[in-house]
Structure 1
Amino acid sequence: MAEEVIETTEVLVVGAGQAGIAMSEHLSSMQIPHLVLERYAIAERWRNERWDSLVANGPAWHDRFPGLEFESVQPDEFATKDQVADYLAAYAQKFQAPIRCGVEVAKVTKKPGAQGFIVQTSAGTIEARFVVAATGAFQQPVIPELIPESAGLEQLHSSSYRNPEQLPAGAVLVVGAGSSGVQIADEIQRSGRQVYLAVGPHDRPPRSYRARDFVWWLGVLNKWEASAPAAGAEHVTIAVSGAHGGRTVDFRELAKSGITLVGRANEYVDGVMKFGDDLVTNVNRGDDNYLSLLAEADEYIERNGLDLPEEPEAKVIGPDPECMVNPLRELDLKQAEVNSVLWATGFSSDYSWLDVDAFDERGRPVQARGVSREPGIYFLGLPWQSRRGSSFIWGVWHDAKYLADHIGIQRSYQQYELSELAQA
């Protein structure tokens, strides 16, 4: 029986989304040999795991890599999901990234008694000195175990939702009021259906204020550089949208359009969904977050003498809608003709393929700025990996640069040999 031919590479990058492409660019510029493996296609999640009308949450001038502008999107417009996918593919082609698509990584183990790792893939075995897990943290859709399948409801995660037409007739309960939940709820409501939107804790920044997009404000106010979320805000989502040309998310306006706001979905009993009593608190805290950013922006403008137009109307908070004055604490789904539930409840990570000493007892990476406690293993694309902006296209590019530099330093240590004089 012929012995298996094992391919070798210096660095193996797993995943060819925005993180893997950024990593490959920096490794290429440093002339470090590497391969990028992708089990599907480049930027697959952008192209085929998002709803049809999704656009980027940041304008094209901001949500991109430094080395390439969007070809067919104006700087202040919001790229569609397909335009983002095309952009990432074009960026990889720009520097001829060594990406192999259709190759799935099954297992990574430490090479016994030697440096490096053995990588089992669907296309054979590869040995690598370093491995970068560039799959990000948004891998497995999370659906809370609240409603049993026996309830007879259509239950979809936001990653499986494409458009209102795929849902059965009737009203829809959307659980989760971050960027995804808000945009999907608004789209379904505009299609002519009744929508109930379960609202949890959230930040609600302005889409723009005084002629500047909120991404600009977060930049000049150094909020992108925050190293960790504020205490108590670890699980707070951001309600922001680039849909319809980019508009500030306003839950009172959503209610005015016909959406019924409810508190967090807490329990399902005999066809009845029970909600928390936190709706008003969550909306008001989101308003406080919104107004505080406006106040900081005003102070920055005055302190720096900027000539930006006044916008007093932005500070006007409308009256509470009826669904906040008398919030629903429970909803009989059958009576309300709710036949589908859409879970915009986020994702969990899946590193089951990475069989190394790099995780805590809950399966979370033990790392500092992406550098694992297992020497030679790196993580890229994690939320708050180095700063608030780490999950964004431009942010992951800077995190990748840090990891590439770290790999370069480690290579220099491993290549060190004693001089002849020292050995004598």
Structure 2
Amino acid sequence: MTVETTSIDTLVVGAGQAGVAMSEHLSRLGVPHLVLERARIAEQWRTGRWDSLVANGPAWHDRFPNLEFADFDPNAFASKEQIADYFVAYANKLEAPIRTGVEVKKVVRNAGRPGFTIETSAGLFEADRVVVATGPFQRPVIPPIAPRDSSLTQLHSAAYRNPDQLPAGGVLVVGAGSSGVQIADELQRAGKRVYLSVGAHDRPPRAYRGRDFCWWLGVLGEWDAEVMKPGREHVTIAVSGARGGHMVDFRRLANQGITLVGLTKSIDNGVVAFEADLSDNIRRGDENYLSLLDAADAYAARNGLDLPEEPEARVIPADPECVTHPLRDLDLAQAGVTSIVWATGYAVDFGWLKVDAFDENGKPKHQRGVSKEPGIYFLGLPWLSRRGSAFIWGVWHDAKHIADHIVTQRKYLAYYDGPAGNTQSRRDEGPSNPQSVSSFVEVH
């Protein structure tokens, strides 16, 4: 039985924000391509998040350049369904060549000939290039300290939907980035007794002197920072767009009724041990917060900006009891805790990508998304080229760079393929006019 193989110049895996952005730039540059998505467009926004999730950035910022959110206040925070609908609308506007319901199972480099063979649930494909646009949220990570206790309900934040999902009793939320903070806040407001395990974090103001923190990070050049500061790899950002957007203040959460505890160290026989680092973590978060205010004030003064001063923003309230006298351990049964929500992040999973594109730890080796394996590209990963790479607008700019790189490679191949005078590409989709060597120099 002969298996039919579909050939395409560039295959994009994933139709979330990265895949849609990639399709826009490839279409603009005339690169034949196909986007394969195992579920629906932007599926993770619809089903991989909790019910009440909204964007952490305002709509004027968390979008692509060429389409605004329809009938929506640009200063408001879009819900997850509105964001997913936005990407569907964007794909429709582009008439993007997206095939949904197709899972990519394996990608291998062809032997003795160019390109890759891609095994999918819809058959075989061949492509000269493959763009991996599956994003960073692939495999939820629950640390090995999680107890094997059938009496406890344990779930990752990826599986959390709403407070009604959990049984009666208290909840320990492990992780104080944006997800952990918002889930803990929601559970406490629903009447749950909540313990929130707080590790190292950045705590930017939601807004300062009339401008959202997204604007401040932009004008201060922070979004375009190309190198992560040493030792900041596991520092999360605590910020929220919930309930119209607000600054995350751990002291306020404590005064609201949430018990703050340090980093979760171990869980043995139903007793959780916490590191003695809560006060230090809170203090370092304050330092991060105040440093951004300092930078904003200096920028405003240097550029003569007429923005209202906000001295009250520098007032740090007194530490609550749970910070001055932190718990070092917690007997879950005695405290009535019946659930643990692990807001502990994700890991990538590229087991299906059988190419030489990874280091000894399984992490992609690339330069701004251009892999060490020629013809393989990565898009949508944190710090792909800059701090903003994993954000909606950031992935759009990274996709542009990758698309330009693909066009350059296609021109080289078109020039060298075939007999003299014939510059058609291998898939008969290259430029129809002969290219001079000088034309390739110009695109660099």
* Structure 1: runs of 5+ lacking an equivalent: none
* Residue-by-residue CA offset, 1:314-356 (whole Å, 9 max, x unaligned): 0000000000010000000000000000000000001011000
Q: Does 1:112 align with 2:115?
A: no
Contact 2:147 2:268 in 1 (8 A): no
1:373 and 2:363 equivalent? no
Distance apart, 1:147 and its partner CA: 2.6
Task: State the SS of the aligned residue for 1:256.
Answer: helix
User: Contact (CA 8 Å) 1:255, 1:323: kept in 2 or not?
Assistant: yes
AA paired with 1:276? E
Matched residue, 1:34? 33
CA positional deviation for 1:310: 1.1
Query: Secondary structure, in 3 states, of the residue corresponding to 1:342?
Result: strand
Shift of 1:150: 2.8
Alpha-carbon distance in structure 1 between the residues aligned to 2:362 and 2:408: 28
Measure the CA separation in 2 of the matches of 1:150 and 1:195: 19
Matches within 5 A, 1:117-266: 117-266=116-265
Separation of aligned partners in 1, 2:404 and 2:318 = 53
Q: Return the alpha-carbon distance in structure 2 between the equivalents of residues 270 and 147 of structure 1.
A: 11
- Does residue 1:345 correspond to 2:344, yes or no? yes
CA distance in 2, matches of 1:304, 1:261: 40
Which residue of structure 2 lines up, in the alignment, with residue 360 of structure 1?
Answer: 359
CA distance in 2, matches of 1:321, 1:110: 58
User: Whole-Å Cα distance in 2 between the matches of residues 298 and 402 of structure 1?
Assistant: 33
- How far, CA to CA, are the matches of 1:406 and 1:316 in structure 2? 49
| Letter paired with 1:302 | A
Partner of 1:244, secondary structure, is helix
Write out the 4+ residue segments of structure 1 that deviate beyond 6 Å after TM superposition: none
Residue deviations 1:171-219, cap 9 Å, x none? 0000000000000000000001110000000000000000000000001
Contact map agreement 1:151 1:271 (CA 8 A) in 2:
no
Counterpart amino acid of 1:195? Answer: V
Residue identity opposite 1:175 in structure 2: V
If the length of structure 2 is used for normalisation, what is the TM-score?
0.93
By how many angstroms is 1:274 displaced?
Answer: 0.3
- In 2, the alpha carbon distance for the partners of 1:225 and 1:147 equals 37
Superposition map of 1:62-73 within 5 A: 62-73=61-72
1:151 CA drift (Å): 4.8
1:336 aligns with 2:317: no
What is the CA deviation profile of residues 74-107 of structure 1, one whole-angstrom value per residue up to 9, with x for unaligned ones? 0100000000000000000001100000000000
Which 5+ residue runs of structure 2 have no aligned equivalent?
A: 422-435, 437-444
| 3-state DSSP of counterpart to 2:129 | strand
Deviation of 1:229 after TM superposition, in Å, equals: 1.6
Residue aligning to 1:52: 51
SS across alignment from 2:330: strand
Is contact 1:225–1:387 with CA below 8 Å preserved after alignment?
yes
Q: Secondary structure at the match of 2:380?
A: coil
Question: Whole-Å Cα distance in 1 between the matches of residues 366 and 297 of structure 2?
Answer: 38
Which residue is 1:86 aligned to?
85
Per the alignment, in what secondary structure is the counterpart of residue 168 of structure 2?
Answer: coil
> What residue is the counterpart of 1:414 in the other structure?
413
What is the match of residue 5 of structure 1? 4
CA offset at residue 44 of structure 1?
Answer: 0.3
Q: Using the alignment, how far apart are the partners of 1:42 and 1:149 within structure 2?
A: 36
Q: How does 1:288-299 map to 2 (within 5 A)?
A: 288-299=287-298
1:267 counterpart letter in structure 2: S
How many Å separate the matches in 1 of 2:268 and 2:122? Answer: 48
Secondary structure of 1:282's partner? Answer: helix
- Secondary structure of 1:150's counterpart equals coil
* 8 Å CA contact retained: 1:203, 1:237: yes
- Greater Cα shift, 116-125 or 223-232: 223-232
Query: 1:137: Cα distance to partner?
Result: 1.6
- Give the Cα–Cα distance (whole angstroms) in 1 for the partners of residues 5 and 270 of structure 2: 56
Mapped partners of 2:405, 2:252: distance in 1: 48
Aligned mates of 2:97, 2:111 — CA distance in 1: 27
So what's the TM-score if we normalise by structure 1?
0.98
Letter aligned with residue 142 of structure 1: V
Give the Cα–Cα distance (whole angstroms) in 1 for the partners of residues 53 and 70 of structure 2.
19
The answer to whether the 8 A contact 1:19-1:136 is kept is yes
Q: What is the RMSD of the two structures over their aligned residues, measured on CA atoms?
A: 1.1
Check whether the contact 1:172–1:338 (CA below 8 A) recurs between aligned residues.
yes
Range with bigger deviation, 159-168 or 140-149 = 140-149
Corresponding position of 1:17: 16
